[in-house]
């Protein structure tokens, strides 16, 4: 298996598959359009974020989108994992772990002392993140609001 940056053709394939990746990562809660995916990804890439892909024999098996962000309180920069996805047929083979390890190496090389990511509650990837040393830092909670018409 090779971990590297994608070429243009591979990047286009990632963009086509990202709606499925987001759907899976959000536990089926979100199915973004191709336009929305570009609106989310392009600004990250313009600010220096980049993809790393896992391939074998020319087959794209998965990817990770990494970059940097700043703590809203301290302004300290840290490495951030924006997206991690492995194609269903390649799951359970350690690909996510290799992508995460390579991202961590890149963060270390770039001088970050911390890496962060966000994950939906219930996502199976949480187990991997915990094994790799990630801990809950913040928890975002939500609650549906009943409309006034339903309260009457």
The per-residue pLDDT for 131 is 94
Count other Cβ atoms within 10 Å, centred on residue 33: 9
Residues in the chain, overall count: 152
Instruction: Name the CATH superfamily, with its identifier, for domain 2-151.
Output: Gcn5-related N-acetyltransferase (GNAT) (3.40.630.30)
For residue 60, list its beta bridge partners: 55
Which two tokens mark 137?
């830092």
The per-residue pLDDT for 74 is 94
The per-residue pLDDT for 111 is 97
The per-residue pLDDT for 149 is 61
Closest CA to 62 of 6, 137, 124, 146: 6
The per-residue pLDDT for 148 is 67
Token pair 């801990």 in the structure block, residue: 135
Q: pLDDT, tens digit, for every residue of 13-57?
A: 999 999 888 888 887 788 788 888 889 999 999 999 999 999 999
Q: Residue ranges of the chain with pLDDT lower than 50? A: none
Q: Is 134 helix (H, G, I), strand (E, B) or coil?
A: coil
The per-residue pLDDT for 151 is 53
The per-residue pLDDT for 76 is 96
The per-residue pLDDT for 84 is 96
Helix 34-46 and helix 8-25: axis angle, to 10°? 120
Q: What are the two backbone dihedrals, phi and then psi, of residue 112, each rounded to the nearest 5 degrees? A: -80, 140
Closest CA to 53 of 19, 113, 2, 129: 2
Q: Is 60 helix (H, G, I), strand (E, B) or coil?
A: strand
The per-residue pLDDT for 75 is 95
């Amino acid at each position: 298996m090779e971990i590297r940056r994608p070429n243009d053709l591979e990047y286009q394939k990632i963009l086509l598959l990202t709606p499925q990746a987001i759907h899976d990562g959000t536990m089926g809660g979100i199915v973004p359009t191709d336009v929305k995916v570009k609106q989310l990804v392009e600004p990250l890439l313009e600010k220096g974020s980049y993809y790393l892909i896992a391939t074998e024999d020319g087959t794209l098996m998965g990817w990770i989108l990494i970059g940097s962000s700043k703590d809203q309180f301290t302004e300290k920069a840290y490495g951030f994992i924006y997206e991690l996805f492995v194609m269903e047929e390649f799951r359970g083979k350690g690909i996510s772990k290799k992508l995460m390890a390579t991202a961590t190496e890149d963060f270390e090389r770039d001088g970050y002392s911390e890496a962060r990511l966000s994950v939906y509650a219930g996502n199976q990837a949480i187990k991997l993140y915990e094994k790799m040393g990630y801990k809950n830092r913040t928890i975002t909670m939500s609650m549906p609001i009943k409309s006034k018409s339903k309260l009457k």
